[in-house]
């Protein structure tokens, strides 16, 4: 068992069979990592403090549900807290991406109170039409990038994700206090209605701050409420808060949120500078993306864009486009023209 000091509060941290308990005063938080697909793990957290609250609800896959039930059995057996899905009073969703709420379509969650920021409820209430719109936006992105990619079976979530039925959706706003006084911070950028939730000395980070990787950037032109500038502002805001223990929705616990924010900001500034370097001559988004990752293969675990799956290639285009929009906004880059629908860029 480890003791962590956050301001004047002492938390204990104890891990058994992959489940980690954080305890202070009468509050218990359990981290339950569940596998959504492949190697994609979402951390679900249970808060027990008179009320029982779940933070994020992964995907509704058999493996994810098995991992959640096994985790709850461990909490019962090893930590002596009798809790099952039926006992959960509240579910707080950090943002509208399906690997954070997909499990709500499982009957076990019927009738639950679900809290999500007002700008992200569309992902859950209108998943079908959001998918159609995003398909259209991805198609234009590929065309203007000057790339020829197939649009078949895009992000094959069909059959895994459906809109939650029979949950009571409660829309959140910045600064609101919910449940036992938990505080909502609206931190847009990765998604329009992304939130962090402060519970005493702990900050649930969602995808805003991860311990190892940086979350995908979606260009603001593709979805209002996204974009690198909003994201970096959100990052700095959370980095400037008092010290908290950071509990992210993927990867490992963050013991110094402000240090991790400094690293993540530096990562994006370096990427911005690299992109300026790549764009000394006029180039398309495809060329910029391809050349950037050739320059920094370490950011793709040593791979190049050609090695990626089609879905990953689309995400790479979105990531680089989000950085280009930031540079254009700051007058470091310009659109030099459009040739057969392909947009050309150059650094200024």
Contact footprint for Zn ion (CB under 5 A):
99, 207
The strand order across the sheet containing 245-248 reads 177-178, 182-186, 195-199, 202-206, 245-248
Instruction: Give phi and psi for 16, each to the nearest 5.
Output: -135, 130
Helix (H) or strand (E) holding 324: helix 310-329
* DSSP code, position 216: P
The distance of Cα 46 from the centroid of its chain, to the nearest Å, equals 18
CB of 346 to Zn ion, least distance (A): 34
Which residue, 161 or 272, has its beta carbon nearer to Zn ion? Answer: 161
| CA distances to 4, 100, 199 from 42, in Å | 24, 7, 20
Shortest distance in whole angstroms from residue 206 CB to Zn ion: 7
Q: Using CB atoms, what's the residue nearest to Zn ion?
A: 207
The CA distance from 106 to 124, in Å, is: 14
Cβ proximity of 243 and 255 under 8 Å: no
What are residue 251's phi and psi, to 5 degrees? Answer: 70, -160
Give the residue with the Cβ less far from Zn ion, 120 or 207.
207
- Angle (nearest 5°) at CA 133 between 209 and 95: 25
Minimum CB–partner distance for residue 157 and Zn ion (Å):
13
Q: Write down how long the chain is.
A: 348
Nearest Cα residue to 100 out of 76, 123, 84, 73: 123
Q: Which of 201, 126, 216 is nearest to 169 (CA)?
A: 126
Residue with smaller CB distance to Zn ion, 99 or 325: 99
Task: Kindly tell me which of 101 and 326 has the beta carbon lying closer to Zn ion.
Answer: 101
Query: φ and ψ at 157, to 5 degrees?
Result: -95, -5
**Residue with smaller CB distance to Zn ion, 102 or 200:** 102
Q: How far is the CB of 100 from Zn ion (least distance, A)?
A: 6
* Closest CB 250 distance from Zn ion, rounded Å: 6
Closest approach of Zn ion to the CB of residue 290, in Å? 26
Min dist. Cβ of residue 249 to Zn ion (A) = 5
Task: For the chain, give percent helix, strand, coil, nearest 5.
Answer: 35, 30, 35
Nearer to Zn ion, 207 or 290 (CB): 207
Least gap, CB of 53 to Zn ion (angstroms)? 19
Of 9 and 41, nearer to Zn ion (C-beta) is 41
Q: Which is nearer to Zn ion, 49 or 99 (CB)?
A: 99
């Amino acid at each position: 068992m480890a003791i962590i000091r956050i301001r004047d509060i002492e938390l204990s941290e104890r891990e058994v069979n992959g489940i980690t308990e954080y305890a202070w005063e009468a509050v218990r938080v359990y981290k339950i990592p569940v596998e959504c697909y492949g190697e994609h793990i979402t951390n679900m957290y249970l808060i027990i403090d008179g009320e029982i609250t779940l933070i994020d609800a992964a995907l509704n896959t058999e493996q994810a549900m098995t991992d959640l039930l096994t985790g709850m059995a461990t909490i019962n057996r090893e930590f002596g807290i009798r809790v099952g899905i039926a006992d959960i009073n509240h579910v707080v969703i950090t943002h509208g991406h399906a690997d954070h709420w997909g499990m709500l379509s499982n009957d076990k969650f019927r009738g639950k109170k679900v809290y999500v920021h007002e700008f992200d409820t569309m992902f859950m209430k209108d998943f079908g039409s959001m998918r159609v719109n995003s398909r259209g936006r991805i198609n234009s992105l590929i065309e203007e990038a000057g790339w020829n990619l197939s649009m078949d079976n895009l992000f094959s979530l069909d059959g895994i994700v459906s809109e939650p039925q029979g949950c009571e959706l409660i829309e959140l706003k910045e600064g609101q206090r919910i449940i036992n006084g938990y505080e909502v911070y609206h931190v847009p950028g990765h998604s329009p209605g992304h939130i962090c939730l402060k519970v005493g000395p702990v900050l649930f980070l969602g995808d805003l701050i991860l311990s190892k990787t940086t979350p995908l950037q979606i260009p603001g032109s593709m979805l209002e409420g996204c974009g690198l500038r909003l994201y970096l502002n959100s990052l700095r805001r959370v980095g400037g808060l008092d010290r908290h223990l950071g509990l992210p929705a993927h990867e490992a616990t963050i013991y110094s949120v402000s240090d991790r924010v400094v690293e993540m900001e530096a990562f994006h500034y370096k990427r911005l500078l690299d992109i300026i370097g790549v764009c000394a001559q006029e180039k398309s988004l495809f060329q910029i993306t391809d050349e950037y990752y050739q320059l920094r293969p370490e950011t793709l675990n040593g791979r190049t864009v050609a090695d990626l799956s089609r879905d990953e290639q689309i995400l790479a285009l979105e990531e680089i486009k989000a950085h280009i929009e930031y540079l254009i906004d700051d007058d470091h880059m310009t659109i030099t023209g459009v040739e057969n629908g392909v947009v050309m860029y150059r650094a200024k």
